[in-house]
């Protein structure tokens, strides 16, 4: 039997969401396609804490074996946009205020206190990292996959990009939408993810729309269940379960061009029993 639980908390922008506020106009609709226009001189902060606790139970030579794995990430980045076009950031200077990747065996904090400069747009994006300490290969791969990202998006953390769970059409308070589980699986598990689409489902809902200092805020909850055919690249036959559950809880500005704030908690759970 394999069970796992993964928690991630994230805060984007320099301010937190305020809980109190006036009720919103019932006519307001949130347009998730709206994005703040990048401007040279803008600064914003990203913070992520992620824990990954796993317990694997199996039989070897007729004897039960249990293996536990614990991992944790702690990251805080301060972005300063040095140059931008009308559609994208073309130079981003990132101060790594906190960075550590910890496992049972080791802790890598080699990127902490570094300055990472990401230049270019799209597929032409490159980076340069400056630090007084030696930056590990793991840290360099992390920059490439989480900040440069093959030119797919502006340089922000993968975990803080929400497009793949947001509605495709404007949504009112109380509105719901269906998540494309195939697109979701590719985003969170990679292009080789295999799962049973007929047994998988996903839905999102917007509630609690309110006005804070003239700006609309709301609460978003997204739940996705993926019935897995494999763990990583290895096929598996499940005697029971084998479903990976994802839950996203976001409190965010619904008008990011006026004020861009997102606070989120992500919970990921997997349980299953083999033959």
21 with 70, same domain? no
191 with 263, same domain? yes
Q: Name the domain boundary from 114, 142, 160.
A: 160
244 with 195, same domain? yes
111 with 181, same domain? no
74 with 96, same domain? yes
48 with 152, same domain? yes
SS3 for 145-196, per residue? Answer: HHHHHHHCCCCCCHHHCCHHHCCCCCECCCCEEECCHHHHHHHHHCCCCCEE
- Give the span between the Cα atoms of 247 and 263, in whole angstroms: 14
Q: Name the domain boundary from 160, 181, 207.
A: 160
113 with 211, same domain? no
Indicate yes or no: pTM above 0.95: no
180 with 214, same domain? yes
What tens digit of pLDDT does each residue of 124-176 get? 899 999 999 999 999 999 999 899 987 777 778 888 888 889 999 999 999 99
Q: Name the domain boundary from 160, 175, 192.
A: 160
What tens digit of pLDDT does each residue of 220-240 get? 999 999 988 766 555 656 656
Over 60: is that where the pLDDT of 211 sits?
yes
* Number of structural domains the chain divides into: 2
57 with 105, same domain? yes
Q: Structural domain of residue 215, as residue ranges?
A: 1-32+166-275
């Amino acid at each position: 039997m394999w069970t796992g639980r993964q928690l991630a908390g994230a805060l984007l922008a320099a301010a937190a969401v305020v809980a109190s506020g006036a009720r919103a106009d019932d006519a307001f609709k949130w347009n998730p396609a709206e994005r703040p226009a990048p401007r040279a001189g803008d600064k914003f902060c990203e913070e992520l804490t992620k824990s990954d606790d796993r317990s694997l139970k199996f039989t070897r030579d007729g004897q039960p074996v249990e293996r536990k794995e614990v991992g944790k990430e702690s990251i805080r980045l301060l972005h300063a946009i040095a140059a931008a076009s009308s559609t994208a950031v073309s130079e981003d200077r990132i101060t790594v205020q906190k960075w550590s990747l910890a496992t049972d065996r080791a802790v890598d904090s080699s990127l902490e206190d570094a300055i990472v400069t990401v230049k270019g747009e799209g597929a032409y994006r490159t980076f340069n990292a400056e630090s007084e300490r030696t930056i590990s290969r793991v840290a360099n791969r992390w920059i490439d996959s989480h900040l440069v990202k093959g030119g797919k998006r502006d340089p922000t953390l993968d975990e803080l990009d929400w497009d793949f769970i947001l509605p495709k059409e404007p949504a009112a308070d109380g509105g719901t939408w269906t998540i494309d589980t195939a697109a979701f699986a590719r985003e969170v598990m990679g292009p080789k993810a295999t799962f049973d689409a007929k047994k998988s489902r996903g839905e999102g809902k917007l509630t609690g729309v309110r006005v804070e200092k003239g700006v609309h805020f709301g609460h978003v909850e997204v739940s996705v269940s993926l019935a897995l055919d494999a763990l990583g690249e290895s096929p598996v036959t499940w005697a029971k379960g084998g479903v990976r559950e994802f839950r996203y809880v976001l409190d965010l500005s619904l008008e990011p061009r006026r004020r861009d704030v997102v606070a989120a908690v992500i919970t990921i759970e997997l349980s299953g029993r083999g033959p």
